[in-house]
Amino acid sequence: MVINPGNLSVGIVDLAFRSISAPTVKLTDIPYQTSCQTSKGLLGTQEQQIYIANPAATNNGWTVTLSAPDPSMTWQSGKYSLDFNDPNALGCVDGDDSDNHAWILTIDPSPARVVVGQCNTCVTDNIILWNSAQFIEWKNDVITVLSGSPESDDIGDWILTGIEIRQTIPAGQPAAWEYTLPLSLSITAQ
Amino acid sequence: LSTPLHAIEYGGFGGRPAYPRPDNDRTESIFIHTLEPGSEKAEWVRIINNTAERKTLLIYASDSTPSTGGAFACKQFSEEKKSVWSWISLTKTEVTLDPNTNEIVPFTIKVPGNVSVGEHNGCVLIQEKKASAKDQAGVSLSVRTGIRVAITIPGQIVRKLEIDGFSVVHNDKNIVLHPRVKNSGNVSIDANVVLTTRNVFGFVIKKHEGQYPVLRDEIADWNFELPKPFWGGMFRSEFVVSYDPRPEATVGVQDDTALEHIRSESNWFFTAPTTLGLIAEIIIVLVLGFAGFLGYVAQKRKIWIRENWVNYSVKSGDDIRTLAEKFDVSWKLLAKVNALQPPYSLKKDQTIKVPPKQ
């Protein structure tokens, strides 16, 4: 019997470990407000689990990161353009970057949960959830969400759920936009 | 080159170096080369589909970028090509693979003649080809696997690490220790980190150890979780970073006998106990307090007896029970004060201590 070589990978799968063809994270609708608000969503749910597999014995550690296709891009919603990485830390007022929009997207892996996938003998030791971080144009363009240190299982698989995503919405913005932001979830051996 | 093969138990799609070098284990997962300016190197990446579906996978190169915490990450396809990205020429930009098959894709790395000495990093990335999800609201996700390409240009190689700081962050569930190390050299360095946490008595309660790459010109900011100590209290953490400072060392190759050690200052911190620990501490304090109170009462009674009980000469017909009733005291206390042993018999004219008459 010939075994296909394994490879380090990250994917979005359902409970039966089948790939989800078009994974998305819905953010809560915020009605029109006169103050700055925060819309929230969860990356990694029971129906859309983040699945990390290392059957290739990548033994010097790996990192899972989130990034947008281009730091200078914006959320698009009809005629509106919205930022996701404004340098103004509060995201309520436009900061000094390449666009004229406020808005800021925060990725918070700290409340997330990591469990072992299909490998019964594996453990979650040395699989590390990272702290909350905001996208900041040209500064924090790639956010680390999870890493496996060299001491983690050399061969194993893990499921990650419950990364909190928070998007600030400045005051006076129309409600319930159908906005979309593409993000890439990447895994890289160190 | 696509070969139908049997499935492994689990896996997704991605890739790895097709021909790792036997002298460096790290080449099983990343591409590592030392190349002269102006030189060209042939390489091969194995593209793998271990999913249950037939997939069309995009293959492209990118430059590297540090992610938060200083870890290695890959830039996006749409970003400006500056370094290793522009040196890589792939013979294919996409492959379609049946489930549990793989294909080897050749590529070349052509180093410009005017490149600076030191390490330059890039990526070869594998991403599923999909139509963009325009009709979906929220965050649409794509996934990709990046394979690091580390190219070292020989010359005046500087390998130097410095301690940049050490902070402690307290969360609800745990404590996160953040050692920070700065790479002021011109190549990435594999740093062996040992972070030790001791309690106030000097006993080690947790040791974190590992080897972590610190990219050139970057500050690595690692997260080490310390479970909240059950009893809480004062703790001291410090870390030691060991690395090979010799210019000939490279990614995956270092001489363990030539390591240089740099040590952080101690970081003292206080942490409250866990909820269970707090309850246990309260119970212990209450028990000790009550025991102390009982001890105090017993001591006071002992002193009072010594100062106030009087001598009594045993008469004919007295025994310990009748005397206990007569002086309204327990016979056990009477026996104890007078050091009487079983069967507690008394002799006529024997002098014993008794409570004063009311």
What is the pTM for the complete model shown? 0.78
Highest mean pLDDT among A48-57, A139-148, B113-122: B113-122
Q: What's the rounded mean pLDDT across residues A127-134?
A: 86
The span from the first CA to the last CA of chain A, in angstroms, equals 31
Burial of residue B283, with CB atoms counted within 10 A of its CB: 0-12 exposed, 13-18 middle, 19 or more buried: exposed
Structural contact between residues B339 and B320, judged by C-beta atoms closer than 8 angstroms: no
Q: Are residues A8 and B29, on separate chains, in Cβ contact within 8 Å? A: yes
Q: How far apart are CA B165 and CA B155, in angstroms?
A: 30
Q: Are residues A63 and B125, on separate chains, in Cβ contact within 8 Å? A: no
What confidence score (pLDDT) does residue A89 get?
Answer: 65
Query: Interface pTM (ipTM) of the complex?
Result: 0.86
Q: Which amino acid is at A168?
A: T
Nearest to A4 among B7, B169, B212 (CB): B7
Q: What's the rounded mean pLDDT across residues A6-16?
A: 87
Q: List C-alpha distances in Å: B122 to A57, B26, B60.
A: 22, 16, 11
Q: Nearest CA to CA, how far is B261 from chain A (Å)?
A: 20
Q: Are residues A130 and B209, on separate chains, in Cβ contact within 8 Å? A: no
Q: Are residues A184 and B142, on separate chains, in Cβ contact within 8 Å? A: yes
Which residue is closest to B16 within chain A, CA to CA? Answer: A7
**Residue B46, C-beta contacts closer than 8 angstroms, at least 6 positions apart:** A5, A7, B15, B16, B17, B18, B102, B103, B104, B105
Q: How many residues does chain A have?
A: 190
What confidence score (pLDDT) does residue A121 get?
Answer: 83
| Residues of chain A contacting B142 with CB distance shorter than 8 Å | 182-185
Q: Chain A interface, mutation test: which of B97, B139, B183, most A Cβ atoms within 10 Å?
A: B139
| Residues of chain B contacting A130 with CB distance shorter than 8 Å | 68-69, 223
Helix (H) or strand (E) holding A142, with range, is strand A142-148
Sheet strand arrangement including A49-54:
A9-13, A49-54, A156-161, A113-116
Closest CA to B54 of B124, B107, B92, B4: B4
Q: How many residues does chain B have?
A: 358
Assigned token pair, B20: 């790792």
Closest CA to B1 of B79, B103, B100: B103
pLDDT in 10s for each residue of chain B, 358 residues: 333 333 334 668 899 999 999 988 889 889 999 999 999 999 999 999 988 889 999 999 999 888 887 788 998 887 777 889 999 999 999 999 999 899 999 999 999 999 999 999 999 999 988 766 555 667 888 889 999 999 999 999 999 999 999 999 887 778 888 899 999 999 999 899 999 999 999 999 999 887 888 888 888 888 787 888 888 899 999 999 999 999 988 888 888 888 999 999 999 999 988 889 999 999 999 999 999 999 999 999 999 998 999 999 999 888 899 999 988 899 999 999 998 888 888 888 999 999 987 5
CB-side exposure of A82: number of CA atoms within 13 Å? 24
Q: Nearest CA to CA, how far is B187 from chain A (Å)?
A: 14
| Residues of chain B contacting A142 with CB distance shorter than 8 Å | 65-68, 73
What confidence score (pLDDT) does residue B133 get?
Answer: 57
Q: Which amino acid is at B281?
A: E
Q: How far apart are CA B358 and CA B351, in angstroms?
A: 20
Q: Nearest CA to CA, how far is B253 from chain A (Å)?
A: 13
What confidence score (pLDDT) does residue A148 get?
Answer: 87
Which residue is closest to B101 within chain A, CA to CA? Answer: A4
Sheet strand arrangement including A105-108:
A37-43, A163-169, A105-108, A133-134
Q: How far apart are CA B222 and CA B70, in angstroms?
A: 8
Q: How far apart are CA A24 and CA A71, in angstroms?
A: 20
Q: Is the peptide bond before A69 cis (omega within 30 degrees of 0)?
A: no
DSSP lists the bridge partners of residue B208 as B195
Q: Are residues B73 and A144, on separate chains, in Cβ contact within 8 Å? A: yes
Q: Chain A interface, mutation test: which of B2, B6, B9, B10, most A Cβ atoms within 10 Å?
A: B10
Nearest to A63 among B67, B136, B169 (CB): B67
DSSP lists the bridge partners of residue B46 as B16, B104
* Share of residues in chain A with pLDDT > 90 (%): 15
Q: How far apart are CA A133 and CA A144, in angstroms?
A: 8
More confident residue, A87 or B6: A87
Q: What's the rounded mean pLDDT across residues A85-97?
A: 72
Q: What's the rounded mean pLDDT across residues A5-30?
A: 83
Structural contact between residues B356 and B308, judged by C-beta atoms closer than 8 angstroms: yes
Q: Are residues A130 and B69, on separate chains, in Cβ contact within 8 Å? A: yes
What confidence score (pLDDT) does residue B5 get?
Answer: 37
More confident residue, A54 or A173: A54
What confidence score (pLDDT) does residue A93 get?
Answer: 72
From the CB of residue B198, how many other CB atoms can be counted at a distance below 10 Å?
A: 17
Chain A with chain B: Cβ pairs closer than 8 A = 241
Q: Nearest CA to CA, how far is B215 from chain A (Å)?
A: 10
Q: Nearest CA to CA, how far is A168 from chain B (Å)?
A: 13
What confidence score (pLDDT) does residue B3 get?
Answer: 36
**Number of continuous H segments (helices) and E segments (strands) in chain B:** 4, 22
Average pLDDT, chain A: 81
Whether the per-residue pLDDT at A176 is higher than 60: the answer is no
From the CB of residue B75, how many other CB atoms can be counted at a distance below 10 Å?
A: 25
Q: What's the rounded mean pLDDT across residues A91-108?
A: 76
What confidence score (pLDDT) does residue B287 get?
Answer: 97
Structural contact between residues B62 and B79, judged by C-beta atoms closer than 8 angstroms: yes
Q: Nearest CA to CA, how far is A83 from chain B (Å)?
A: 13
Structural contact between residues A179 and A76, judged by C-beta atoms closer than 8 angstroms: yes
Closest CA to B8 of B99, B89, B78: B99
Q: Are residues A142 and B67, on separate chains, in Cβ contact within 8 Å? A: yes
Q: Are residues B137 and A133, on separate chains, in Cβ contact within 8 Å? A: no
Q: Are residues B139 and A69, on separate chains, in Cβ contact within 8 Å? A: no
